[in-house]
Amino acid sequence: MAKAKRDFTAAGSLNPVYQTIGNATADTEAQPLPRIKRGETPPPEVEKAAKNTGRTQGRAGIKMPRINAALLPDNFQYVKTMSRLRGESYSSFINFVLSLHKQEHPELYQRAKSIIDEMDSELVEE
């Protein structure tokens, strides 16, 4: 059973910290995605919606790329604390941080992709 998101908005007037937490977690809840039976291919709009929201676990026919990462203890503590503050999963918080980094450094990412493509094409030619 999924853990309910904490509601800090009611306590916001008591303490500015709670007000900040309430503002950060006050986003609207996502609409539930329709269930797909095992063995059936999900419609493209359901698959796209699931991937955009990151809600693919346990969904038949819809998978997101996954990694197993070893974090330093202080980095893990940071992810744990900040994801709880935002009321989201570790994965959602890490995706949020990576999205911010990608927005701040688009030229670096494009250059890295072109370097990797050049290296791959050189390997094919040999």
| Domain definitions of the chain by residue range | 1-30, 32-66, 67-126
Q: Would you place residue 82 in the very low, low, confident or very high pLDDT band (cuts 50, 70, 90)?
A: very high
Residue 74 confidence (pLDDT) above 90: yes
pTM of the complete model: 0.53
pLDDT at 79: 95
Q: Which residue has the higher pLDDT, 119 or 10?
A: 119
Work out the burial of residue 97: count CB atoms within 10 Å of its CB; fewer than 13 is exposed, 13-18 middle, 19 or more buried.
Answer: middle
Q: What are phi and psi of 92, to 5 degrees?
A: -65, -40
Cα 122 to its chain centre, rounded Å, is 34
Q: Would you place residue 66 in the very low, low, confident or very high pLDDT band (cuts 50, 70, 90)?
A: confident
Work out the burial of residue 94: count CB atoms within 10 Å of its CB; fewer than 13 is exposed, 13-18 middle, 19 or more buried.
Answer: middle
Residue 111 confidence (pLDDT) above 90: yes
Provide the b/e sequence for 33-60 (b: ≥16 CB within 10 Å): beebeeeeebeeebbebbeeeebeeebe
Half-sphere exposure of residue 12, counting CA atoms within 13 Å on the CB side?
Answer: 13
Residue 11 confidence (pLDDT) above 70: no
Q: Would you place residue 112 in the very low, low, confident or very high pLDDT band (cuts 50, 70, 90)?
A: very high
